[in-house]
Structure 1
Amino acid sequence: MSAPVAGPGAHRPLRIAVVNNFFPPRVGGSAHMAASLAQRYAAEGHEVLAITAAYADAPETEERDGYRVVRLPAVRMPRLGWSIDFDLSFVTPHLRTRRRLRRLLDEFRPDALHLHGQFFDLTWLAGRYARRRGLPSLLTIHTLLVSERRRYDRLFRLLDAALVRPNLNRIAPRFVILDKLGLDYCARRYGVTDPEFFPIPVDTDHLDSAPRKDIRAEHGVDGPLIVSLGHVIPLRNRLPLVEAMPAILARHPDVRVLVVGRVYHDAFLKRARELGVADAFVVTGAVPKDDVPSYLAAADLVAHDLNGGCGTASLEAMAAGTATIASVGEDNYPGVELRNGWNVLLVEPDDAEAVAANVIELLDKPGKRRALAARQQALVRNNFALDVVAAEHLRVLAKMAGR
C-alpha cells in the first residue's frame, strides 16, 4: 500500500526524521511505537532517519528494517530511591552534541519530522530545528505526567507549566493524540486544540509469531495465569489487581500473576504483603519484545491498565487473542466503537471489587472468556493495525510537507 499523497511530485518519497529518546533495544510502548512506525514508513518507500539517545551497549549507528538509526551520547537520570524513579536518558548537554544533531538533520534534509514524547530534550532540540527551517513536525504524546500521590502530582503540574508547555510553544508542532485521556490532558495542560487523533499502532505481524518459550513451565504455573504486562509506574500501579486478589484467591486459590516489566513504583508489592497475597505474584522484570507473544499465549487473562487507561500492552494482548481487562470509557478512541462486555471488558479506574468480579467470572466461564478474546482481537486488528495507522500518519505528513 502506497502512502496516499497528492499534487505535484506526489510520488517522490518523503524524507522523515523520527525522533525519540526511547528506542529499541530499550523496551516500552513509546520505543516500540516509534520503531514500528519508522519501519513502516521505510517499507512504504520513504527515506527514514531515526535519532535517539544512547542506551546500554546499543551501537552508535546501525541500519535496521530499511532505515538508519543514530544514537547520540546521553546521560541517565540518577536513581534517587523515590517512588517516581524512571529509567530516563537525556542527550549529553554539550554543545558538540547539539551541533551533531544539527549536522545530522542538515545532511538528511528531512521533509518532515515525527517527534515522540513531549518532555524529552531531543523533541525540543529537533523541534526547534524544524521551526527555524520552516519544516513541519508531528509530536506524538505518550506518557502523561500524572500521579495519584498529591505531592508528585503537584511537581508534575509545575514541570508541565514551567518547562514543558513553554518548549512546546516554541516548537509549535502538530499534535498527535492517542486517546481521549491524552486529549483531555493536552487541552488542559498545554492548551492544545484541534490535534490529530490516531489510534495506538499495534504490530500484529509480531504478535503472530510462534511462542519462543514455555512460560508456564519456566515459572512453575499449573493453574490459572494472569499476566500484567508493562512497566509498573504510578499511572499503572497494579494496586487494584492486588486489592482484588483476596477475593480471587478465595475462589481460585491456584491463580498466579506474572508482572512483566520494570518496577519503578513498588507500592503494589508492599500492599500484597499486607494482604497476605504476595506469594501469588511473580515479578519478571523487563523482557525482550520477542518474548511478549510467549507471555500472552500462556495467559488466561491480561490485566494491568486498571488506573484509567488502555495502552499499547493491553491492545497487543487483545490483538494476540487473550482476554484483557482495561479501565477507560467507551468513548476513549474517537471513531472506534467500544462496547463493554462485547468487544472490550472495562472497569472503573481503581475499582478492585469490579476487577475481582470480572476475573472470577472469566475464570469460571472459559467459553465466555474465549468469545470475548476473539471479539477483542477483531476490534484491534480492524482498527489499530500498524499498516492502517501508519497510512494515516503518512497522509498527514505528506499534506504538511506540501505533497
Structure 2
Amino acid sequence: MKVAIIAESFLPLMNGVTHSLLKILHHLAERGDEVLVIAPSAKQHEATEVAGARVLRLPAVPLTGYRNLRVAVGGVNRLRVLLNEFQPDVVHLASPFILGWRAAQAAQQLGLPIVAVYQTDVPGYAAKYGVPFLENKAWERVENIHLAATRTLAPSSHAVTELRSHGIPRVQLWPRGVDTVRFHPAKRSQLFRQQVAPGGERIIGYVGRLALEKQLEDLAAISELPGTKLVIVGEGPLGAELRNRFPDAYFTGFLDGEELAVAVASFDLFVHPGELETFCQTIQEAMASGVPVVATGRGGPLDLVESSKTGWLYPPGELAQFRSYVLDLIGDDAKREAFATAAFRTVQGRTWQAVCARLIEHYHDAIAEHAMATTSMKGSR
C-alpha cells in the first residue's frame, strides 16, 4: 500500500516518536510498501530517504527553550498539495499536534483515511511548563485532531481511558515493541560498572531526556543513598542544571545503539519519576535487559511494571515511598534478582515485528471503515 506519514518530529532528533517511526519504516520497507514521510526541516543531516521511504522536509523553526525540537511552518494548502501528489491509501499522523493538525485537515479535504497515533501528553506538558491556562487549549487541539481521525491509536490503557474521557471516539490500544536482542542481560559490562562506580556501588540508572516534564528533580530523593551511584543517561535543556544539582551523579550524555544497551544492562535498578509518560519505552528496554524498575504509578508505566513482581510503582508525588522502594531493591540482592528475572521474562514476545504487523491491520481497518462511512454519507444524500 501507499502510506503517508506526517511526523511531528523526526531525524536527526531521537526520541520516542522517532524511535517507533524508524521501526515502522523498516517494517513497511520489508513489506514493499511505498512510504512518504513529511517532517520538519532539521538544518543538518537531512536525508531524503530513510529505510526506503522518501522524506520531504517542511521549513521549521526551533521551539523556544528546546532548540533541538523544531516546529514546521506552512499551511494546510501545502500539505494538501503534497498528499494529493502522493495519493496515499492511508495517512499516518505520528504524535500530531501542530503539523499533524494541518495534515489532518488536508487529509479530510482530500477524503483520505487517517490513523492518528497519540504519543505525547502535550496538555500535561503545558501544565508542567508553567502555562496551565494553555492546557485546555491544548486539549481542544488534541480533540479536534483525533475527532478528524478515522482511527486513533494510543500506547497504554491509561492513554486510551484519558482520550475517551475527552469524548474522542474510535480509540484502540496499540502498545510498543522492544528489541530483546539489542537489550539483553548478556550486555551487562563490568568495565562500564567500574568506570561509573569504581567503589563497587549499586548502580541506579535513568535514561531519557533531561527536560522538565521528566521530573528529574525527584531524583533528589534517592541521589545520596549510601552504597549507590546514580547514573543519568541522556541530554536535554536541563543538562547543566542537573549536573550542578547532582554533582555526585555520573552523567553519560546521549547514548544510542550498543552503548545504550550496555549501559542499561549494567544498571542494578532503573528509575523513572516522570508522570506524563503515555508509554515509556525506556522501562521496557530496562526490563528486557534484566533490570527491575521503580517508577511513578501514572500513565504508561501502569501497563509495564507489575508491583511486587517486576518492580515497584509509587503514587505520584510520594517521594518517601519512591525512596523506600529503591532501598527495598537495592538492599536485597535476592529480591532484586527475582524481580530482574521476572522483568526479563515479561517482555519476551513483545517484538516490533508483532507490533508493526498489528499496525498494518489498523491501516486496513481504517481504510475499510473510511470507505464504509463515505458510502454511507453518499447514500444519505
TM-score tier (shorter): 0.7 to 0.9
SS at match of 1:71: strand
Question: Residue in 1 aligned with 2:336?
Answer: 369
Question: Residue in 1 aligned with 2:135?
Answer: 157
Structure 2 residue corresponding to 1:138, chosen from 97, 115, 118: 115
Question: Residue in 1 aligned with 2:58?
Answer: 72
Question: Residue in 1 aligned with 2:268?
Answer: 300
Question: Residue in 1 aligned with 2:203?
Answer: 225
Structure 1 residue corresponding to 2:286, chosen from 314, 317, 325: 317
For the residues of structure 2 that align with 1:211 and 1:70, how far apart are their CA atoms? 40
Question: Residue in 2 aligned with 1:259?
Answer: 232
For the residues of structure 2 that align with 1:106 and 1:131, how far apart are their CA atoms? 12
Question: Residue in 1 aligned with 2:364?
Answer: 398
Q: State the one-letter code of the partner of 1:125.
A: R
Q: Return closer, same or farther for 1:388/1:339 CA change in 2, 3 Å cut-off.
A: same
For the residues of structure 1 that align with 2:43 and 2:266, how far apart are their CA atoms? 30
TM-score after normalising by structure 2: 0.82
1:174 maps onto 2:140 in alignment: no
For the residues of structure 1 that align with 2:300 and 2:81, how far apart are their CA atoms? 44
For the residues of structure 2 that align with 1:263 and 1:381, how far apart are their CA atoms? 31
C-alpha RMSD of the superposition: 3.3
For the residues of structure 1 that align with 2:19 and 2:170, how far apart are their CA atoms? 26
For the residues of structure 2 that align with 1:331 and 1:159, how far apart are their CA atoms? 23
How far the C-alpha of 1:318 sits from its partner, in A, is 1.0
Question: Residue in 1 aligned with 2:375?
Answer: none
TM-score after normalising by structure 1: 0.78
SS at match of 2:285: helix
How many aligned residue pairs are there?
A: 365
What are the within-5 Å matches in structure 2 for residues 9-88 of structure 1? 14-62=1-49, 64-79=50-65, 85=66, 87-88=68-69
Higher share in strand: 2
Higher RCO (C-alpha 8 Å, min separation 6): 1
For the residues of structure 1 that align with 2:117 and 2:178, how far apart are their CA atoms? 15
SS at match of 2:61: strand
For the residues of structure 1 that align with 2:353 and 2:249, how far apart are their CA atoms? 36
The gaps in structure 1 that reach 5 residues or longer are: 1-13, 80-84
Q: Is the 8 A contact 1:237 1:268 kept in 2?
A: no
Question: Residue in 2 aligned with 1:90?
Answer: 71
Please list the CA deviations of residues 322-353 of structure 1 after superposition, one character each: whole Å capped at 9, or x if unmatched.
222222369976xx696421134322222222
SS at match of 1:235: helix
Q: Return closer, same or farther for 1:289/1:114 CA change in 2, 3 Å cut-off.
A: farther
For the residues of structure 1 that align with 2:163 and 2:352, how far apart are their CA atoms? 24
Q: Return closer, same or farther for 1:73/1:211 CA change in 2, 3 Å cut-off.
A: farther
The gaps in structure 2 that reach 5 residues or longer are: 370-381
Structure 2 residue corresponding to 1:119, chosen from 87, 97, 100: 97
How far the C-alpha of 1:29 sits from its partner, in A, is 0.9
1:341 maps onto 2:308 in alignment: yes
For the residues of structure 2 that align with 1:126 and 1:136, how far apart are their CA atoms? 12
Q: Return closer, same or farther for 1:175/1:296 CA change in 2, 3 Å cut-off.
A: same
For the residues of structure 1 that align with 2:191 and 2:117, how far apart are their CA atoms? 36
Percent sequence identity over aligned pairs: 22
Question: Residue in 1 aligned with 2:325?
Answer: 358
